[in-house]
Structure 1
Amino acid sequence: MADDFKESEVAERYAHALFDLALDSKALDAVRADLQALKAMRAESADLRRLLASPAYSSEDKGKALAAIADKAGFQSVTKKFLGLLSHNRRASALPGAIAAFERRYDKHRGVVAAEVVSAIKLTAKQLDGVKAALRTTLGADPELTATIDPAILGGLKVRVGSRLFDASLKTKLDSLKFALKRA
């Protein structure tokens, strides 16, 4: 548990430095795009996840791999230097946390609030717009929605904004009813 805290603290420090550097060099949006692309690559590639997490690969090997990815993808020089520094300092495993921390700082800087919407079926664009409008009113900021599907909730929605969870799912309502009936 202490190692997880230390790892997230390290990721936060690297993300903070990258954000400030990207902001100063007026490449904030481009660096964010690079990190989103890298996040997608990591999600799609088990080999890349293994490379970043495994202590079996040297920092030099990780650096070469990340440099090759950055060159091929046409990343900004700020992003390339950041990846090189992470590898050189043997912190490549902190990359996912650093990307997440960078995204949080970026959203805060832009006045955007990240929200995750979970539904039993795929929501239409009109339904997502309705959720976005309701969240905008409630939060007083523009939400950036990530929609996922979980048939286990049966119906309704779950909306997570930061550490807050708004649960209006049918499964939760049925579970509450079941609990109330058991107590009666």
Structure 2
Amino acid sequence: MAKLVSKVYGDALFEEALNKQEVDALFEEVKGLQMILRGNQSLTELLDNPKIVKEEKIGIIKNIFDGRVSDDLMGFLAVIVDKGRQKEIPAICEYFVNAVKEYKKIGVAHVTSAVELNEGQKARLVEKLLNTTQYVEFEMNYQVDPSIIGGMVIRIGDRVVDSSIKTQIYELRRSLLKLQLT
């Protein structure tokens, strides 16, 4: 249900941004809103408190964000709170940001390697990803995991390319176990 809510509201915000040709501006505002919500758990708890009526919650949002965000985003947040969906604001923001990234052809890659990659390796990896995908830019997230022994695991969306030594050893082991000696 939460995924459906974030999709419906996220799509509505994205369509509004497209119609008004304000995708870039709204994209930056929503990313800023995400940072505020992540850094201020008490605000999220306050908005989700059932003892506070909707009108007060909308007033809180106006006090905090009025003049700091566009009227479109301000109105959008008020609608979300009015509909009682304030708990879904982070998921809606995430959906919207991902929709804009897809629209702008910005890929998000999660790269796990056994050792830290140097800048030259990172640059070659980004170049290779740009040449083999439809994306024109990448947001790279690097992680070191010595347990993969060597190679790397690259995840872009729901696609995974696993060239780790750990996986190769596992596949080799499975193949050898399937062999029957006669």
Same fold flag (TM > 0.5): yes
Residue 90 of structure 1: how far off its partner (Å): 0.6
Q: Is the 8 A contact 2:47 2:87 kept in 1?
A: yes
Pick aligned residue for 1:129 from 102, 123, 129? 123
- What code does the residue aligned with 1:78 have? D
Alignment of 1:108 with 2:94, yes or no, is no
Q: Which digits, 9 at most, give the CA deviation of each residue in 1:87-112, with x for residues without a partner?
A: 11111122222122212321232233
Which structure has the highest helix share of the two? 1
Give the Å deviation of 1:165.
0.8
Task: Indicate conservation of the 8 Å contact 2:106/2:139, yes or no.
Answer: no
Calculate percent identity across the aligned residue pairs: 24
Equivalent-residue separation in structure 1 for 2:115 and 2:50 (angstroms): 40
1:88 aligned residue (57, 62, 82): 82
How far did residue 70 of structure 1 move? 2.4
User: SS at the partner of 2:84?
Assistant: coil
**What is the one-letter code of the residue matched to 1:176?**
E
In the comparison of the two structures, how many residue pairs are matched?
A: 178
Aligned-partner residue type, residue 38 of structure 1: L
1:70 matched to 2:75? The reply is: no
Residue 159 of structure 1 corresponds to which residue in structure 2? 154
Judging changes above 3 Å, is the alpha-carbon distance between structure 1 residues 168 and 43 closer, same or farther for their aligned structure 2 residues? farther
Q: TM-score, normalised by structure 1?
A: 0.77
Q: Is the radius of gyration larger for structure 1 or structure 2? A: 2
Per-residue Cα deviation, 1:25-77 (whole angstroms, up to 9, x for no partner): 232111111111122233333334444566565444543444344247x2222
Q: Give distance in 1, aligned partners of 2:156 and 2:117.
A: 18
Unmatched 5+ stretches in structure 2? none
CA pair 176-43 structure 1, distance change in 2 beyond 3 A? farther
Q: Which residue of 2 aligns with 1:170?
A: 165
Name the residue aligned to 1:16.
11
Matches within 5 A, 1:55-66: 55=50, 58-66=53-61
